């Protein structure tokens, strides 16, 4: 259904580059993040973590720790409620281990003390008796029969019997006769790929402050992408009624999917309940690396057949993901996203998830898609090279369009892939000359996008300005975008609107800030809440004028008679309506709630130029351009920011970032010195081209833009490096030693 | 061990605090003096979110002891604006969308100000290398570099 009510040329506020409402607080140090809140009587909490990759917990003795002066409470898994839902048990087990520790750094106990020094001392006094067990951290090793079993009894019925018990899930997508398709190909390439686990790398470590009183009421302040989800999880784990737990989201110092669950929050609540005092817990960076995030690591096999003029005849991919010690569904997103960019007659995409002794995977920007599309786009590129064809021409020839049946099932509506590819083709970057040891890589990217549960309230203030109350933490400038859409719909200036993020007691449930859903779904609900208020304002004016409600229309911030037949009345401004609202029926507010669908998928194309030093294997990115369909770009600066930020995270993943495990199952690089995210001097400018193909599922045509941008860099970089080095690479990250070895092996 | 009494100046104002000998300047600023603009992103000097200047020198305050601040002059992000007027760097970061989540912003502003005091007309490369110790995970740095350049030009009086 086409919901578009306002199109190009009709926008006054949307599409401009207004200043963000949180700007001054953030540049002056006033903004309050997770670790910044201080309350009277506050204790400091700390977490004891497993020194083993895998071990049985025989006993935990907390008596000495409790006897230390200044220690006010110690909690273990026994302090959590009995749970019966598998997913909830997993979340609770990850917050505090139950019978076994499942990875190095797994939380075992929590302490609250008068200060940080005392809390740290107390951790050393907790005696845990462990029996170490064999461990496994590699996905392929974990899938083999005879591998150490991380958790038993978690396998779904459709998993093939040849795999170990660690394999929890299997999925298959596709259509057409793949074997017949391969028979039509002029050339077939099949390759194996590996990608390392990458951490979201938000600069703000997880932090929270919990305060529970002995009547069972609690307040929780934390940095999260979803305060309502935190409330659902914590109230279940602590056996509380949701109404008694108020969760307030602090300013959030980055999330990228990694702050969509709980880690320390239930522990802080349990410590507060036991000690009768507010408890603050702030993770160290070491804890963030060892016990939160990262995304999955993968092993995959991709086989694609192509005719000599560049048409793909068939494709078959197998994706094996590990998401740590608990089952996850990321493999399924990868298998579904893999071939989304292509219009294929015959395609099969399979996925498996395996348990390993690593931290529980958390969502990371387009979870599952980057590693799958990396493998697919690498094989497409190699075929293109084989036939001597133009990489963008081949992609255009096979590109998904409106009415293409996607490999994962649905038939696409209006999508922007072709426009994006054509923009890349026309861009001067694509025809710029390359020097010695330089290569240019291309990749498509895709993400589904999401809508979800959303509610928004719009309050008309007595001076005619407007307050928007929404429930999604702002991680990329969404308060500005939401205010802009409200101003647009109401026909008032942006400066007359203020948007705030409500706590869980002030608004109905809102899903987590994820799936690139906020500008789309919260925007849609904001526009509808504004329309609700407009209907009420028109109703009030109709009464004053003594005419039918239908005879009053809303235009540019004024209620007006709908036409000459409605009568001759002076239009009433929103300010006039607000000023007399107490005489016309009381305060005016609009509200809307929805489980939004129609998010509209998103495609992007990246061009990357690199120079590879043949003596060291070091790669320098020398030019980078991102092309992405944003639907209507509400705030172009912030859309560009998403495109640039995602691209650079992808560049880091492609070139540097990886979880490195020792033989002992211990993460060897749990810090920013050794887990190297890109720094400013690593990078060139990141050029951006926004395409605006309206999404029919949103009144203004908005699509989510936050995630797609991390998908193409992996293959774009790998394709560029492979062309620059004259040798194909099949493993990420492409660190200098790996590239040097590939160059040396090539001879 | 007994706490140490420290007298120092933060953003021009004399302050005193007591801290254990092992306490970092970052913790003293945040927890004892209420200057929570400096953030702890790593505690190991790798991310730059805790950047302040100590006697004019740019430091990671997580790598300095609180006791070392005795008799020193410290500048934090809270001291950048004059009254209600933002520093040109602060204004430029807002105008040019150089921040998303904002957690790295205080450290980057303090570091960029220190750069412009030494080099009022830095090239893109000079800005990128100077800020290489300040991690930002949201922006990809592009708009940060541009915002610093624009602020530098304004501070040189080259733009309105």
Mean pLDDT score, A335-343: 98
**A51: β partners:** none
pLDDT value at residue B159: 67
For residue A619, is pLDDT > 80? yes
For residue A533, is pLDDT > 80? yes
Q: Which residue of A has its CA nearest to B20?
A: A117
Mean pLDDT score, A625-654: 98
Partner A contacted by B43 (CB < 8 A): yes
The answer on B71 and B104 residing in a single domain is: no
Chain A contact set for B35 (CB, 8 A): 29
Cβ neighbors of A170 (< 8 A, separation 6 or more) are: A156, A158, A159, A160, A350, A351, A352
Contact between chains at B39 and A23 (C-beta distance less than 8 A): no
Chain B contact set for A25 (CB, 8 A): 102
Residue range A197-221, pLDDT digits in tens:
999 999 999 999 999 999 999 999 9
Residue range B78-126, pLDDT digits in tens:
999 998 899 999 999 999 999 999 999 999 999 999 999 999 999 999 9
Percent of chain A with pLDDT over 70: 100
Residue range A87-123, pLDDT digits in tens:
999 999 999 999 999 999 999 999 999 999 999 999 9
Q: Domain segments of chain A: what residues?
A: 23-30+468-586, 43-134+200-291, 297-450+598-746
R_g of chain B computed on alpha carbons: 16
Higher per-residue confidence, A573 vs B159: A573
Identify the CATH number of the domain in which residue B71 sits: 3.10.20.30
**How would residue A323 be classed by pLDDT, with cut points 50, 70 and 90?**
very high
Domain boundary among B47, B79, B111: B79
**How would residue A564 be classed by pLDDT, with cut points 50, 70 and 90?**
confident
Q: Give the Å distances, CA to CA, from A148 to A348, A356, A681.
A: 30, 9, 43
Show which of residues 113-132 on chain A sit within 8 Å of chain B, judged by CB atoms: 117
- Give the mean pLDDT of chain B: 97
Nearest-angstrom CA–CA distance, A131 and A101: 10
Residue range A239-296, pLDDT digits in tens:
999 999 999 999 999 999 999 999 999 999 999 999 999 999 999 999 999 999 999 9
CATH of domain A297-450+598-746: 3.30.365.10
User: Does some domain include residue B47?
Assistant: yes
Phi-psi region of A459 (alpha: psi -120 to 50; beta: other; left: phi over 0): beta
Q: Which fold would CATH assign to domain A23-30+468-586?
A: Aldehyde Oxidoreductase; domain 4 (3.30.365)
Structure tokens at A230: 């935190």
Q: Domain containing B11: what range?
A: 4-79
Contact between chains at A202 and B103 (C-beta distance less than 8 A): yes
Nearest-angstrom CA–CA distance, A577 and A463: 9
The answer on B60 and B25 residing in a single domain is: yes
φ, ψ for residue B63, nearest 5 deg: -105, 5
pLDDT value at residue B83: 87
Mean pLDDT score, A459-484: 97
User: Does some domain include residue B146?
Assistant: yes
pLDDT value at residue A473: 98
Chain A contact set for B90 (CB, 8 A): 24, 27-28
- Give the mean pLDDT of chain A: 97
Mean pLDDT score, B38-53: 98
Show which of residues 51-70 on chain B sit within 8 Å of chain A, judged by CB atoms: none
CB-nearest to B139 from A19, A284, A641 is A641
Domain count across chain B: 2
Mean pLDDT score, A351-366: 98
CB-nearest to A285 from B41, B93, B144 is B41
pLDDT value at residue B160: 54
Identify the CATH number of the domain in which residue B135 sits: 1.10.150.120
Residue with tokens 């996905």: A139
Mean pLDDT score, A563-575: 94
The answer on B136 and B108 residing in a single domain is: yes
User: Does some domain include residue B160?
Assistant: no
Exposed/middle/buried for residue B123 (C-beta within 10 Å: 0-12, 13-18, 19+):
exposed
Nearest-angstrom CA–CA distance, B79 and A23: 16
Same fold, A23-30+468-586 and A297-450+598-746: yes
pLDDT value at residue A1: 75
Mean pLDDT score, A460-467: 98
The answer on B97 and B31 residing in a single domain is: no
ipTM value, please give it: 0.98
Mean pLDDT score, A437-456: 98
Residue range A6-26, pLDDT digits in tens:
998 999 999 999 999 999 999
pLDDT value at residue A747: 80
A43-134+200-291 homologous superfamily: Aldehyde oxidase/xanthine dehydrogenase, a/b hammerhead (3.90.1170.50)
The answer on B92 and B74 residing in a single domain is: no
The answer on B45 and B75 residing in a single domain is: yes
């Amino acid at each position: 259904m086409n919901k578009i009510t306002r199109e190009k040329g009709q926008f006054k506020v949307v599409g401009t580059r207004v200043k963000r409402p949180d700007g001054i607080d953030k540049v002056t140090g006033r903004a309050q993040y997770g670790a910044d809140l201080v309350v009277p009587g506050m204790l400091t909490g700390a977490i004891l973590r497993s020194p083993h990759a895998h071990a049985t917990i025989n006993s935990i003795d907390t008596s000495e720790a409790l006897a230390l002066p200044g220690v006010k409470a110690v909690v273990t898994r026994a302090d959590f409620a009995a749970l019966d839902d598998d997913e909830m048990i997993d979340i609770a087990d990850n917050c505090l281990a139950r019978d076994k520790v499942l990875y190095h750094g797994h939380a075992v106990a929590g302490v609250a003390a008068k200060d940080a020094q005392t809390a740290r001392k107390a951790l050393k006094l907790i005696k845990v008796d462990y029996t170490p067990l064999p461990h496994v951290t590699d996905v392929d090793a974990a899938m083999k029969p005879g591998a150490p079993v991380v958790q038993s009894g978690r396998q779904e019925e459709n998993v093939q019997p040849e795999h170990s018990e660690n394999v929890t899930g299997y999925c298959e997508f596709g259509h057409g006769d793949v074997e017949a398709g391969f028979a039509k190909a002029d050339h077939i390439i099949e390759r194996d790929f590996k990608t390392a686990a990458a951490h979201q790398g938000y600069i703000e470590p997880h932090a929270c402050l919990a305060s529970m009183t002995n009547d069972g009421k609690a307040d929780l302040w934390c940095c999260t992408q979803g305060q309502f989800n935190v409330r659902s999880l914590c109230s279940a784990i602590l056996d509380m009624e949701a109404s008694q737990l108020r969760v307030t989201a602090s300013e959030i110092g980055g999330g990228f999917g990694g702050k969509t669950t709980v880690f320390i929050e239930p522990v802080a609540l349990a410590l507060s309940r036991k000690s009768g005092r507010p408890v603050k817990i702030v993770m160290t960076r070491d804890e963030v690396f060892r016990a939160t995030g990262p995304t999955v690591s993968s092993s995959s096999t991709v086989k694609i057949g192509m005719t000599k003029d560049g048409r793909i005849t068939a494709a078959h991919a197998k994706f094996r993901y590990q998401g740590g010690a608990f089952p996850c569904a990321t493999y399924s997103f990868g298998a579904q996203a893999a071939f989304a960019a292509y219009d294929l007659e015959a395609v099969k995409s399979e996925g498996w998830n395996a348990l390993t002794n690593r931290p529980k995977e958390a969502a990371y920007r387009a979870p599952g898609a980057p590693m799958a599309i990396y493998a697919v786009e690498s094989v497409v590129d190699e075929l293109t090279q084989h036939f001597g064809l133009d990489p963008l021409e081949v992609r255009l020839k096979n590109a998904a369009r409106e009415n293409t049946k996607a490999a994962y099932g649905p038939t696409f509506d209006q999508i922007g892939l072709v426009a994006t590819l054509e923009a890349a083709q026309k861009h001067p970057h694509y025809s710029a000359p390359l020097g010695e040891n330089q290569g240019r890589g291309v990749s498509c990217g895709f993400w589904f996008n999401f809508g979800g549960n959303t509610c928004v309230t719009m309050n008309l203030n007595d001076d005619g300005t407007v307050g928007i109350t929404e429930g999604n933490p702002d991680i990329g400038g969404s308060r500005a975008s939401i205010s802009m859409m409200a101003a647009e719909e109401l026909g008032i200036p942006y400066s007359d609107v203020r948007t705030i993020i409500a706590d869980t007691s002030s608004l109905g449930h809102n899903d987590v800030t994820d799936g690139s859903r906020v500008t789309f779904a919260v925007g849609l609900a904001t526009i509808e809440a504004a329309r609700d208020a407009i209907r009420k304002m028109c109703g009030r004016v109709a009464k004053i004028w003594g005419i039918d409600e239908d005879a009053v229309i809303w235009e540019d911030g004024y209620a007006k008679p709908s036409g000459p037949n409605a009568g001759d009345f002076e239009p009433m401004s929103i300010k006039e309506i607000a000023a007399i609202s107490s005489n016309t029926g009381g305060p005016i507010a609009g509200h809307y709630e929805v489980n939004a669908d129609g998010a509209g998928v998103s495609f992007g194309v990246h061009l990357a130029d690199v120079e590879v030093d043949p003596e060291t294997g070091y790669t320098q990115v020398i030019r980078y351009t991102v092309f992405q369909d944003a639907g209507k770009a509400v705030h172009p600066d912030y859309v560009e920011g998403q495109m640039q930020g995602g691209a650079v995270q992808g560049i880091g993943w492609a070139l540097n970032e990886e979880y490195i495990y020792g033989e002992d199952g211990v993460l060897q690089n749990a810090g920013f010195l050794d887990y190297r995210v890109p720094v400013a001097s690593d990078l060139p400018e990141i050029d951006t081209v926004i395409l605006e193909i309206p999404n029919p599922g949103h009144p203004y045509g908005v699509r989510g833009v936050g995630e797609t941008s991390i998908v193409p860099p992996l293959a774009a970089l790998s394709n560029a490096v492979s062309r620059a080095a004259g040798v194909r690479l099949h493993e990420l990250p492409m660190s200098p030693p790996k590239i040097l070895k590939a160059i040396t092996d090539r001879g | 061990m007994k706490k140490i009494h420290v007298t120092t100046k933060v953003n021009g104002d004399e302050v005193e605090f007591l801290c254990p000998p092992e306490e970092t300047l970052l913790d003293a600023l945040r927890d004892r003096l209420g200057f929570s603009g400096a953030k702890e992103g790593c505690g190991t000097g790798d991310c730059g979110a805790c950047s302040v200047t100590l006697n004019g020198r740019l430091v990671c305050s997580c790598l300095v002891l609180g006791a070392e601040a005795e008799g020193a002059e410290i500048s934090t992000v809270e001291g950048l604006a004059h009254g209600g007027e933002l520093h040109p760097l602060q204004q430029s970061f807002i105008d040019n969308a150089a921040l998303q989540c904002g957690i790295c912003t205080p450290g980057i502003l303090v570091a960029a100000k220190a750069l412009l005091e030494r080099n009022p007309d830095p090239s893109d490369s000079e800005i990128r290398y100077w800020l290489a110790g300040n991690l930002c995970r949201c922006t990809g740095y592009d708009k940060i570099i541009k915002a610093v350049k624009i602020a530098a030009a304004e501070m040189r009086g080259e733009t309105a």
